[in-house]
Structure 1
Amino acid sequence: MSFLSKTNGNATLNNVEVLELGSCNLRHFPDILHNQTRLLWLDLSDNNIHGQIPKWVMNISEETTVVNFSYNLLTGFDQSMVNFPWPQLQMLDLRSNKLQALPLIPPPSALVYLVADNMIQGEISPLICNLSSLYSFDMSNNKLRGILPTCLSNFSSSLTILNLRGNNFHGSIPQLCVKGSRMKMIDLSQNQFKGVLPRSLSNCRKLEILNLGSNNLNDVFPTWLGPLPKLRVLILRHNGLYGVVGSPTTIFASPKLRILDISSNRFTGKLPFEYFRNWKFVNKVDVNGCRYMLASTSFNPSGYGVDDFYPYSMTIINKGKETVYPKIVEVFAAIDLSSNKFNGMIPKFIGPIPHGNQFDTFDNSSFDGNSGLCGYPLSKKCENSKPSPLPISSIEVYQDSWFHIQFDWIIILMGYGSGLVIGVVIGNIMTEKK
């Protein structure tokens, strides 16, 4: 996740400044930690350390700035702490453990605070408001509840990553962005938020990922999000959003938008093909090598240069199944408008089902409720005996880790039944391979 380069100081066995013992199959905290009074950097990630974090570990050094205990089997702390043990801490990573109680909020010096994928219960402490320099905040996939503190809007000048997915938060979503916001990722999906979408999101000019899916939001389509220049992923599925989607000249205007999921809402009206023709990503994609969507930053705790990389992730419905993407390939493209109340005629040039590549992997059930469709794999033949080709100018997929994809236009398969279904997934095979 990060790259370390030492810029000053010498380390000895009895006076260690940097100790990296990740992926060493440790079952206990190592004895070498005793009497380390100048330890700045401690990495014990990806081991089998289990049980509680002992008191003596918490008191090893007041100069510690980076602590990484992620991907272990830790259950908590063996003492009740009043003050946080590392007053100069800048990075705390406790992801993927078995913590049940929320750790003490780090000191105001904290830049990175990651406690995702635990079993933490309770509410977020109001002391979180002291972290005015926080860059990355991830508490996703826990059992947290309550209302989000409104002070989160004060972080937008520094906070880049906000991931609270998969908890039990309720109430309204606070106004998260002010002018000059540095937010790149906001994921509040799979909670119980209600009310309207905060209009302050239009201030997130650097926003790349916005995921508010699987909540109880009740609002019209956010036309005011269209002009965001860097938006790549917009997921609003499974809410109570309603009304017409709007004009294609103002909606989906973001030049980098590649993933759109507004399924399982109550949107109505017609959906003309001008929407898809306006999207930049359907014109041409030229990728050299396999890259993932991520946010990166650099900071220098105690004279050490750190490049921190946070890969974007999401959950979408792919071929009828909920699929988790812990990383998103740059060339991945997906559109899902299913389970809404769109109406109107389907253009004749897409009645026939396209052939080739990903389309040939779908079975009959993928087209249920769409009586106007014809061609393979359906038994209904099209009037034109010629199969409808997949309108992609060229696709080249190499068998190693490098690939190149180029396409001039994608015609998106549209279904018409109880709801309009549009789904095209490009790059799924490559993602699974990686």
Structure 2
Amino acid sequence: MKISLMLQLSFITMLVVLLLINSPVYGHCLGDQKALLLKLKNGLTFDSSLSTKLVRWDQNTDCCQWPGVSCDQKGHVLVLELDNEAIFSGLENPTSLFDLQYLEKLNLAYNHLNSVQIPREVYKLTNLTYLNLSFAGFGGKIPMELSRLTKLTFLDLSNVALKLESGDLKALVGNLPNLRELYLDEVYISWKGIEWCSTLSSSLPQLRVLSMTNCGISSPFDPILLNLHFLSVIRLDDNNLSTIVPEFLANFTKLTTLGLSNCNLRGEFPNKIFQVPTLQELDLYGNEILTGTLPDFSQNGSLRELGLGRTNFTGSLPDSIANLTTLTEIDLSSCNFFGPISSKMENLRDLVYLDFSFNSFTGSIPLFHKAKKLNYINLSHNNLTGPLSSTHFGGLSELEYLHLEENYIGGTLPTVVFSIPSLQVLELQNNHFSGEVHEFANASSSFLYKLDLSNNYLNGSIPRSIFKLNRLSQLLLSSNSFRGTINIEAIKGLPRLKILDLSYNNLRIDVQGSNSTSFPFPQMSELNLASCQLQKFPDLKNQSLIFALDLSYNRIKGNIPIVPTSLIYLSIANNKLTGPIPSSICNLYQLQFLDMSNNSINNKLPPCLFQMFDYLSVLNLGRNRLSGIILDTFLSNCSLKTLDLSNNNLEGKVPRSLQRCAFLEVLDIGNNKIRDTFPCMLKTLPSLHILVLRSNKFYGDLQCRIANQTWSKLQIIDIASNNFRGALLPHYFSNLEGMMKSRNPGPRLHYLEVEFINYGLYYRNRVTLTLKGQEMEIENILEVFTSIDFSCNNFEGEIPEVLGDLKLLYLLNLSHNALTGRIPKALGKLSQLGSLDLSVNQLSGRIPDELASLTFLAFLNLSFNQLSGRIPRGNQLQTFSAESFEGNTGLCDFPLKKLCSDTKMNGSSQPRSSSDDETVDGKYISFALGSSLCFGIVTWLLLHSTRYNELVVRLLFRIFGEHKKAGRNRNRRRSR
């Protein structure tokens, strides 16, 4: 026992001796070494409040014990680490540094030098094996003297201000045969061809890590790289390689990391690379034209991080992804994946980050309760369905971000969602959640700073615990069915609140019950209380930071008050405001969006308003009582995109200076008293999508003497109810290129809207159209929706055949004119046509058989013309009622009661017996009844509630492309 004990003591003693021998710090540092270090320190300018090492260098203590310093056995300084020391100057030519002849490791990374050159004398440190000068603030050319440091195994020169000229690479690394890690991130390199590949392959046989992100490399890979047998890390992100990914990259037998994000890669990604057994990290993010599919992953794969976001990868998610048991991060966002998310993903226990957003995944959400370290989940903007259960996220104590917005998830919200202790962001907007919202557990200690439940079907009272989330800065609950009265004073428990959106519920917001005289949120930047039964304006005189204010759809009366000058976005539409537009509105020096529509605002437009058009993007003053003229003072730098002055009492002419608004997309001056000829100068506006001149006093023909001008984007033109005259010449329509060619909208269709990118806000344009004799306002206008309304004018002559070239046309109304001749057969080519009104003209001849092929036609009116002959047979025309054909004495056949005689009428088709008429195919009748009933319901809903505009949008999605859920949100905020 004693012998055994002695052996143990001897063994322990030997271990202690060995540890002492291998310790990086020995004894006392030499006096000359201390003197050199102190001289170096005294020559440096640095921020002592940010320094953690230099400020602790004390001349009364052993310099080998100083932070950032290590010595050898004899007291020579071997290691000097002064990274992140907030050094501003003193490293231009630090002679004392270069006298540390024994130095093996030097780290000056992440300091704040002012683009000083790397000192050439660094070559004197001949014993260096490690040199890190990354992002220290060095600039200019990299000195070739670095090539004399032949013992280097690690070199990091990453810096945005450094550069290597042609040929310098060979000179730099040609004498560094021992180099194992090379980092040149952000260094500008003017390399051509395969120079970089051949130089590295021939000079650095020991290289293991190659990192050259954002260097300006534009040449492809070369197989000569395979000479680097030990290469395990390749990072070339953010270079414009513009090449296919070579399959030979799979032949690097030691490859652990491959970073090729944002490299403009093309072609199909080789599946063999996924199968490299040593691969741990693969990042292809941002290569938008790179295609590929996920392979079947083998058992016990080593992949830990997989980044395919914003690529063109497609296909389904294989069950074998569960074989990647070491996976910690996966990003498949903004790709084209579809199908269900494998339920086997619940076996990925090490998962920390998951982003599957902006795809077409379907089915239910898999369980994640086994991934205890999961921090980030983003499944937003998919087609996921089904309810959430308490098991989905139960036990995820480290979850900080949960994004499920823009799906079809329904059911009630499980209690567990509101009890995740570390949750910071919860976004569930634009789903089908219903029922009441549970109280938050431990609300006062919650870390939640963003809560978005908007655009669901939630009801009941807003939980009181929400107003105890004292870290909350964004609260968005709009477009639900929450009820009750909320006093703004009650929200004072949210001291950090910056964004508040309670719009479009059944809430009554009391802003006058506050004990203070002003709004109690001095940090507020966005306030949306639309449709909250407000009677008065909130007092916002102390809101110096607010830039978005929406008080629309309330009951606010009186004059327009003074509002904060910081506003960028202001909507007070649909209230009961009266009086003139105050000149103080022109003090809003950064206003980009102004909507005062649908009030009783009167008087003239203030002249100063026209001086705001150099920064104002949207101006909507429609449906008021404004009078006077539109001043012809539009600025040369006009930035307007939407101008809506419709439904007022404006007179005069269309300002010719309006042509200076080169970015104008929507112009609506309908329903005024403007007397003018057709404003031909508008044809010079390349971005115009919507032009509405209806119900004014315009006159003359449409002949414009502007050569070679086309409206490449015009999708809606409405000049109805004026005094235009003359023939409808073919070139009036042949220049409407926006209605002829497919716009190739991509996987999802888009709305016509103005977005304020820096603020996450947007304004969705709306327009009033005439359909089935009724005016209806469409709030959500798809960019593929097209309409021509020339009705109620004095146009004459024939309908031009060129209309048949407008293949995207959805609505055509030429009714109540004096048009003659036949209905063109070419209209049968308008395969997208949903509404056709040619009534009350003098059209003659037969109805073309080609119209029977318009399978999307939902509304047809050919009444009160001089048409004759049999109504063409087909599954479509017989679905309309007799009212669509009345007033044409020569027409016969179903749905009219008049039977066609045995004698041909004006070239009508062959006769048939009365028994044939009595046995009209029953499917026509049932189809007609069903179509009429459905169309009538949709029209009624549109006329009685704008909330049902999404029904039209869904119909148009079915016609024009993929059906992605039409947003019910009226709040003007984009998910970010």
Pick the TM interval, shorter chain.
Answer: 0.7 to 0.9
The residue matched to 1:120 in structure 2 has which SS? Answer: strand
Pairing 1:27–2:485 present: yes
Find 2:676's aligned residue among 216, 219, 243: 219
AA paired with 1:371? Q
Check the 8 A contact 2:680/2:706 in 1, yes or no. no
Seen in structure 2, the aligned counterparts of structure 1 residues 41 and 287 have a Cα distance that, compared at 3 Å, is: closer
Check the 8 A contact 1:185/1:210 in 2, yes or no. yes
Q: What is the deviation of 1:359?
A: 7.5
Seen in structure 2, the aligned counterparts of structure 1 residues 38 and 357 have a Cα distance that, compared at 3 Å, is: same
Query: Structure 1 residues 347-356 or 61-70, which shifts more?
Result: 347-356
Corresponding position of 2:381: none
Pairing 1:327–2:780 present: yes
Describe the superposition over 1:405-430 as per-residue Cα deviations: whole angstroms up to 9, x where unpaired.
xxxxxxxxxxxxxxxxxxxxx98942
Pairing 1:64–2:524 present: yes
- How do 1:281-320 and structure 2 match up within 5 A? 281-285=738-742, 286-288=744-746, 289-299=748-758, 306-320=759-773
Seen in structure 2, the aligned counterparts of structure 1 residues 281 and 427 have a Cα distance that, compared at 3 Å, is: farther
Q: What is the deviation of 1:255?
A: 0.7
Q: What is the deviation of 1:63?
A: 2.7
Pairing 1:200–2:657 present: yes
Check the 8 A contact 1:111/1:136 in 2, yes or no. yes
Check the 8 A contact 2:702/2:732 in 1, yes or no. no
Check the 8 A contact 2:487/2:509 in 1, yes or no. no
Check the 8 A contact 1:152/1:176 in 2, yes or no. no
The residue matched to 2:576 in structure 1 has which SS? Answer: coil
AA paired with 2:695? H
Q: What is the deviation of 1:37?
A: 5.0
Check the 8 A contact 1:64/1:86 in 2, yes or no. yes
AA paired with 2:734? R
Q: What is the deviation of 1:236?
A: 0.1
- How do 1:6-25 and structure 2 match up within 5 A? 13-14=469-470, 16-22=472-478, 23=480, 24-25=482-483
Pairing 1:367–2:824 present: no
- How do 1:171-182 and structure 2 match up within 5 A? 171-175=628-632, 177-182=634-639
Q: What is the deviation of 1:142?
A: 1.2
Check the 8 A contact 1:43/1:67 in 2, yes or no. yes
Between the aligned residues of both structures, percent identity stands at 30
Gaps of 5+ in 1: 300-305, 387-425
Seen in structure 2, the aligned counterparts of structure 1 residues 163 and 130 have a Cα distance that, compared at 3 Å, is: same
Corresponding position of 1:336: 789
Tell me the distance in 1 between the aligned counterparts of 2:624 and 2:504. Answer: 24
Tell me the distance in 2 between the aligned counterparts of 1:232 and 1:374. Answer: 39
- Provide the TM-score with structure 2 as the length reference: 0.36
Tell me the distance in 1 between the aligned counterparts of 2:870 and 2:858. Answer: 14
Tell me the distance in 2 between the aligned counterparts of 1:34 and 1:210. Answer: 43
Pairing 1:50–2:576 present: no
Check the 8 A contact 2:711/2:738 in 1, yes or no. no
Pairing 1:146–2:599 present: no
- Provide the TM-score with structure 1 as the length reference: 0.78
Query: Structure 1 residues 203-212 or 30-39, which shifts more?
Result: 30-39
The residue matched to 1:105 in structure 2 has which SS? Answer: coil
Corresponding position of 1:229: 686
Q: What is the deviation of 1:251?
A: 9.2
Corresponding position of 2:907: 383
Check the 8 A contact 1:276/1:282 in 2, yes or no. no
Seen in structure 2, the aligned counterparts of structure 1 residues 356 and 142 have a Cα distance that, compared at 3 Å, is: farther
Corresponding position of 2:356: none
Find 1:166's aligned residue among 623, 632, 635: 623
Q: What is the deviation of 1:295?
A: 0.7
Tell me the distance in 2 between the aligned counterparts of 1:106 and 1:316. Answer: 34
Seen in structure 2, the aligned counterparts of structure 1 residues 358 and 225 have a Cα distance that, compared at 3 Å, is: farther
Check the 8 A contact 1:51/1:75 in 2, yes or no. no
Q: What is the deviation of 1:44?
A: 2.3
Seen in structure 2, the aligned counterparts of structure 1 residues 60 and 169 have a Cα distance that, compared at 3 Å, is: same
Corresponding position of 2:573: 116
Q: What is the deviation of 1:30?
A: 5.6
Check the 8 A contact 2:624/2:647 in 1, yes or no. yes
Tell me the distance in 2 between the aligned counterparts of 1:373 and 1:171. Answer: 49
Seen in structure 2, the aligned counterparts of structure 1 residues 92 and 355 have a Cα distance that, compared at 3 Å, is: same
The residue matched to 1:332 in structure 2 has which SS? Answer: coil
In terms of fraction of residues, the more strand-rich structure is: 1
AA paired with 1:122? G
Describe the superposition over 1:165-193 as per-residue Cα deviations: whole angstroms up to 9, x where unpaired.
11111111134631121111111111111
Seen in structure 2, the aligned counterparts of structure 1 residues 428 and 52 have a Cα distance that, compared at 3 Å, is: closer
- How do 1:85-100 and structure 2 match up within 5 A? 85-100=542-557
Corresponding position of 2:853: 356
In terms of fraction of residues, the more helix-rich structure is: 2
* Aligned residue pair count: 381
The residue matched to 1:28 in structure 2 has which SS? Answer: strand
AA paired with 2:511? I
Corresponding position of 1:238: 695
Pairing 1:189–2:686 present: no
Check the 8 A contact 1:89/1:106 in 2, yes or no. no
Seen in structure 2, the aligned counterparts of structure 1 residues 315 and 346 have a Cα distance that, compared at 3 Å, is: closer
- Which is bigger in relative contact order (C-alpha 8 A, separation at least 6)? 1
Seen in structure 2, the aligned counterparts of structure 1 residues 269 and 316 have a Cα distance that, compared at 3 Å, is: same
Q: What is the deviation of 1:218?
A: 0.5
Check the 8 A contact 2:699/2:725 in 1, yes or no. yes
Describe the superposition over 1:47-71 as per-residue Cα deviations: whole angstroms up to 9, x where unpaired.
3333652152733133322211112
Tell me the distance in 1 between the aligned counterparts of 2:741 and 2:574. Answer: 37
